[in-house]
Amino acid sequence: MITPFESPIFVTRPVFPDLADYTAQLTEIWDSKQLTNNGLQHKRLEGELAEYLAATHLKLFSNGTLALLLGLKALGLKGEVITTPFTFPATVQCLDWNQLTPVFCDIDPVTLNIDADKIESLISEQTSAILAVHVFGNPCEVEKIEKIADKHHLRVIYDGAHVFGTEVMGKPIHHYGDMTMYSFHATKLFNTVEGGALAFKEDHLAQKLDLLKNFGLLDAEQVVLSGLNAKMNELQAAMGREVLKVVDVEREKRHELKKIYEAHLNAIPGLRIVTSLEGAASSYQYFVIEVDQDQYGRTRDELFDALADYNVFPRKYFYPLCSDFSWYSRLESAQPEKLPVARKSVQQVLSMPFYGELSREAVEKICGILKELHVEKKEVLNYRK
């Protein structure tokens, strides 16, 4: 019998830079007397991130949600947008705030991304765009989606909250689509405490996004459009500059932990590793498993509850489906029979503890617990009585 951890093991932990290095940045901010409004730290981080991510155009925002919301606004979308029900609420909430109607498309059972083969049948005269999510760092079928969009003259926007630094076929992931949003929330691989960015291709969007995130102010006396306050401040930017220096080391640490998880969990029936990609194809943002009740002997929820007894706290990420929100109940695309794969997957996924400061021994112990909690087939009948 494995004993519980003495202290709670949570699903993630923020990446912190060296405190002395961050303090040095704070001293520079104090000397500058500027805390926001496109200060020196902001300008430096924007340039450094554009270089790190190989982005032609990149703009910073105070958080990823506002980045996506204003990115959709900048594209001038109308009508319907085809998207996934299996995502964090912010993705579809950004559609709501732009008066856009989501059309939910079912997901691929392996990657858990939007099923590109089912997109075209959902396109109508009201469709203006496809909003896809690279779920858990698994890249969408970007080339297939691009062909569909080109054929029907649609915009493509990617929620890239989970794919910081990821490449597809040797190209930065934001090479595909019209726009990619990155989230720099504290729980992400790269963080600015709170923050986000948009990577995009069209030159003319740069000024429009600058206006949209700063009240529409062209200068001190001219307001040329209706905007919001979505500027990243200097404290956030300074944090990001220091975290960027250690993010590659964090990726390496997570890669090592991923290999330990895989070595143990591949031998446990009923546990499928969702996040199996390696190298530049992986962001190492999450380590996610899928629980097959028939093979494992427990449901995902039963496993989730049992892990808490060992002081291990994974997350049912994502749960619930966005299509289950009450304000979408009238939509035809939100009906349960339209989304069979998503409805199954949302009951099976579990995001496991995964961060660089997690010890190898802790991961091995978690794997031991998962093995201990597995119910052999001969025991399942008694377990279900």
* pLDDT band for position 286 (cuts 50, 70, 90): very high
- Cis peptide bond prior to 61, omega within 30° of 0: no
Task: Identify whether 188 is a catalytic site residue.
Answer: yes
Domain architecture of the chain: domains with CATH: 19-242 (3.40.640.10), 247-384 (3.90.1150.10)
- What pLDDT does 340 receive? 98
In terms of C-beta density within 10 A (0-12 exposed, 13-18 middle, 19 or more buried), how is residue 246 classed? middle
Q: What is the pLDDT of residues 29-61, one digit of tens each?
A: 999 999 999 999 999 999 999 999 999 999 999
Q: Residue 352 CB: number of other CB atoms within 10 A?
A: 27
Reported as a single tens digit per residue, the pLDDT across 325-365 is 999 999 999 999 999 999 999 999 999 999 999 999 999 99
pLDDT at residue 385 above 50?
no
CA distance 58 to 40: 16
Question: What confidence score (pLDDT) does residue 376 get?
Answer: 74
- 109 near 129, Cβ under 8 Å? no
pLDDT of 316 over the 60 cut:
yes
Reduced DSSP (H G I as helix, E B as strand, rest coil) percent helix, strand, coil of the chain, to 5: 45, 15, 40
CA distance 277 to 342: 21
- What is the pLDDT of the chain when averaged over all its residues? 96
Helix (H) or strand (E) holding 374: none
Residue 384 has pLDDT above 90, yes or no: no
What was the pLDDT predicted at 377?
60
382 pLDDT above the threshold of 80? no
pLDDT of 172 strictly over 70: yes
- Please list, in sequence order, all residues whose beta carbon lies within 8 angstroms of the beta carbon of residue 34, skipping any fewer than 6 positions away: 40, 234
Decide if pLDDT at 378 tops 70. no
- Over residues 222-259, the pLDDT tens digits come to 999 999 999 999 999 999 999 999 999 999 999 999 99
Q: Going along the chain, which residue ranges are E strands?
A: 9-10, 57-61, 80-83, 101-104, 127-133, 155-159, 167-168, 171-172, 179-183, 196-200, 217-219, 222-223, 271-273, 287-291, 312-313, 349-352
Q: Which of 73, 188, 231, 365 is catalytic?
A: 188
CB 174 within 8 A of CB 148: no
Partners of 290 in the beta sheet? 272, 349
Matching residue, tokens 């299996």: 86
Q: Which residue has the tokens 């703009």?
A: 59
Instruction: Report pLDDT digits (tens) over 95-114.
Output: 999 999 999 999 999 999 99
Question: pLDDT tens digits, residue range 57-78?
Answer: 999 999 999 999 999 999 999 9
Do the beta carbons of residue 211 and residue 63 sit within 8 Å? no
The pLDDT of 75-103, averaged and rounded, is 98
Q: 106 with 339: CB under 8 angstroms? A: yes
